[in-house]
A and B are shown apart, each in its own frame.
Chain A
């Protein structure tokens, strides 16, 4: 058995020595915070135009995280590239010849990338929250308000889990283009379309991003949306279940298929 600590160290070197790590994570942070700030400012300026119901369920925390729609895509790219570039470059053969124990290799790789995504995710979520609230004027929430801290930490966790889910999918598909194509289309289009159409809304609620983003809501039924059949951690748990399935699928593919 290769020593797990040695493999973790090796995976850390791998992830920190490619430039894609830096720019995808920076993009995740900047997009989430900037778009969140922009929309917070817009919401503040147009608060009076909101319907009465929307005003009553106004959720300043959730509003500041509106940029997650875009920021999560950068996290998807990060997660996909961590895995898929091993395959596209052929490095996977060299890597597995050095660490033939598939489980050690896979767990180490995902652990290192997830930890990094989590650190960046939490940094992003706190920054985004405070920036957004500063631009929400009188409508802002405070970190000390009930459930707000949970939502902010939840947003950081959400980003890390998005990266993990992407790593699982990329491990199954092994291709940058396929993985990005599928995940981008899913997170950016399919999921929101399904959630927008009344007929599919009940099902769409259980999709990983829809369920997971519930953790960022402080006010149930925020902005006059339908209340979810699950709570914030319930939703997050659903997302984690999806991720577990993707990661297990990825491991099976790694174990069974030729490198």
Chain B
């Protein structure tokens, strides 16, 4: 179990990590999600005692990282595939690290085999492709056969096959009862692998929830309605017991699957003109983007009116699409399995 307690990191004026308190529970995959610059990597570096927190602390099974006698046997981490000496062979890079933690030399060949680098074990690691570097980094994480594994965006820059391989590797490691903490900025990737979800934005904790709970709450179906007679429509829908909300752009959303028919009939009954009647399905990616976009907005505007904030979120250049936009196409590898 890893426990973060008020973990904070400030770079000058910038607060990269802001009072993070959460736990990484044993025996499951915890996804660590946040947009670019949210503070994921900084948090992970502090968890490994590489960067000093401005305040707060991290405990691993109750101990500070520096108190672990041979840390690679407790916790293995892939931070960046490039964190090896390029002039040294893959084997020798791992060998010197294994020796420092009294891990037998034979284990080096074993992990190289696991990640499929045996053929290039004697090659200098600077010639490695991104995928090979990532595999080498994973071999390093596995060296001490640790109970806890930490991966910082392990699928970044990998081809579909590499992504598939890493995803399966994480699942099989979790099936062995290990604790896995993996960061990503893709909700779709997390939905496929994680059991638990930690979401951060601007260094702040936004959600700490089970994946199932997140899906239940966020993969909602609704019908979108636009009408020139909003008052009449709203009254009719409310009277009929429908859950109706007015969005910032003037459209209504009526919660529930297969609501297009009853809503259309209701409108006809009350002679309300409709300009749009469209069934919608919010993707998890959207839910995530909305969540983090609002965290961004929190600094720019005062969130006195949730509708205004939602509208503002859509108006920010480069911000994720507003909730009514069509769901963005998922990454190709997000489909299929």
Contact = CB atoms under 8 A, between A and B. Distances in A.
Interface of A: 1-3, 6-7, 9-11, 13-14, 17-20, 85-86, 89-91, 93-101, 256, 258-259
B136 to A, nearest CB: 10
A98 B88 contact: no
B96 A17 contact: yes
10 contacts: A2-B101, A3-B70, A6-B100, A18-B88, A85-B87, A86-B85, A89-B84, A95-B97, A96-B50, A259-B50
A93 B99 contact: no
B95 interface: yes
Interface stretch (B75-83, B242-250, B303-311): B75-83
Nearest 7 CB-CB pairings of A with B? A10-B100, A90-B83, A258-B51, A17-B92, A13-B96, A10-B99, A259-B50
Interface of B: 45, 48-52, 65-66, 68-72, 77, 79-80, 82-89, 92-93, 95-97, 99-102, 140
A20 to B, nearest CB: 7
Contacts of A13: 92, 95-96, 99
Contact of B99 (A9, A19, A96): A9
A125 B179 CA distance: 55
A96 B100 CA distance: 10
B102 to A, nearest CB: 5
Contacts of B72: 97-98
B96 A11 contact: yes
The majority secondary structure among interface residues of chain A is: helix
A99 B99 CA distance: 11
A256 B51 CA distance: 9
A113 B140 CA distance: 24
B51 A3 contact: no
Contact of B85 (A89, A97, A98, A100): A89
B51 A18 contact: no
Contacts of B52: 256, 258
A2 B70 contact: yes
Contacts of A1: 69
Contacts of B95: 13, 17
A95 B49 CA distance: 12
Contacts of B86: 89
A13 B99 CA distance: 9
Given A93-B50, A97-B71, A85 B85 contact: yes
Nearest to A18: B87
B96 A10 contact: yes
Given A6-B101, A100-B66, A90 B84 contact: yes
A259 to B, nearest CB: 4
A94 B100 contact: no
B99 A6 contact: yes
Given A89-B82, A100-B65, A94 B88 contact: no
Contacts of B50: 93, 96-97, 258-259
Contacts of A91: 83-85, 93
B80 A97 contact: no
Nearest to A94: B83
Contacts of A17: 88-89, 92, 95-96
A93 B81 CA distance: 11
Contacts of B88: 14, 17-18
A11 B101 CA distance: 12
B215 to A, nearest CB: 33
Nearest to B102: A6
B137 to A, nearest CB: 8
Given A90-B83, A91-B85, 14 more contacts: A1-B69, A2-B100, A3-B102, A6-B100, A13-B95, A17-B95, A90-B82, A91-B93, A93-B48, A93-B50, A97-B48, A97-B79, A98-B97, A256-B52
A232 to B, nearest CB: 38
A94 B51 CA distance: 13
A13 B92 CA distance: 8
Contacts of A3: 70, 102
A82 to B, nearest CB: 11
B97 A93 contact: no
B47 to A, nearest CB: 10
